[in-house]
Amino acid sequence: MDGPLENDICSICHSNFNTPCQANCSHWFCGSCILQVWDHGPAFHPCKCPLCRREITLLVPSEASSRQCNMVNTAEILPRIERYNRRFGEQSNGLMQRMQDLPFLLRRLLRDIRDPQRTLPLFIRARVYLAMVASAIYVLSPVDIIPEGLLGIIGFLDDLIIVLMCFLHVAALYRAVLLSRHGGS
């Protein structure tokens, strides 16, 4: 998750990764390659992933890329990625876009929480844990908006909605953290 797979290559240039970046659709590209895709499209819209055609609203450079800021190519690419993220990072407005980004954001968040080398702000950690505990208490409590005893399987609908809302809230928090890390703000 810190970078692309060992023997993987960029799907745009078909070469080894140079400043690898992961898009919000979970695909990896060279930073310069995905920025060229954006350069050849409309400047006021995010580019689409060449593999899955989803809008790329967030580019996250690998940890190795972030540490290699002194290399000439990387030093030129990272500021452009930050500019891209500042311009399009807040555009994850629609529910479908948020649902599509959910697996990407939750996987990265889980990795950040488990890794002692990473630092998540304390208030973010607290809000994540609070949201998870609150949704678990609601799901496990006998008090429900739609009672399972009366409506059977349909009664689980409110539990699923609460859990989904919790995950969407946590993903939005973590997206803000990623934007502050890789958006230059």
Residue 147's SS3 state is coil
The CA–CA distances, whole Å, from 78 to 34, 62, 65, 147, 184 equal 12, 11, 8, 51, 10
Q: What is the mean pLDDT of the chain?
A: 84
Averaged pLDDT, 71-97:
83
* pLDDT number for residue 72: 57
CATH of domain 1-91: 3.30.40.10
The full length of the chain comes to 185
* pLDDT number for residue 66: 56
Give the pLDDT confidence of 113-153 residue by residue, as tens digits.
887 777 788 888 888 899 999 988 888 887 777 776 677 77
Dist. CA 63–CA 56, nearest whole Å? 19
Q: Residue 86 has which token pair?
A: 């500042």
The rounded Cα 74 to chain-centroid distance in angstroms is: 21
DSSP 9: -
More confident residue, 41 or 155: 41
Q: Residue 111 has which token pair?
A: 């990795």
Nearest-10 crossing angle of helices 31-39, 72-88: 50
- Tell me which amino acid residue 4 is: P
* pLDDT number for residue 34: 95
- Tell me which amino acid residue 20 is: P
Judge whether residue 25 has pLDDT over 70.
yes
The CA–CA distances, whole Å, from 15 to 8, 44, 79 equal 9, 29, 22
Domain locations along the chain: 1-91, 93-185
Q: Look at residues 61, 96, 86 and name the one whose alpha carbon lies nearest to residue 168.
A: 96
* pLDDT number for residue 68: 54
Give percent of the chain above pLDDT 70.
89
Residue 103's CB: how many other CB atoms inside 10 A? 13
- Report pTM: 0.80
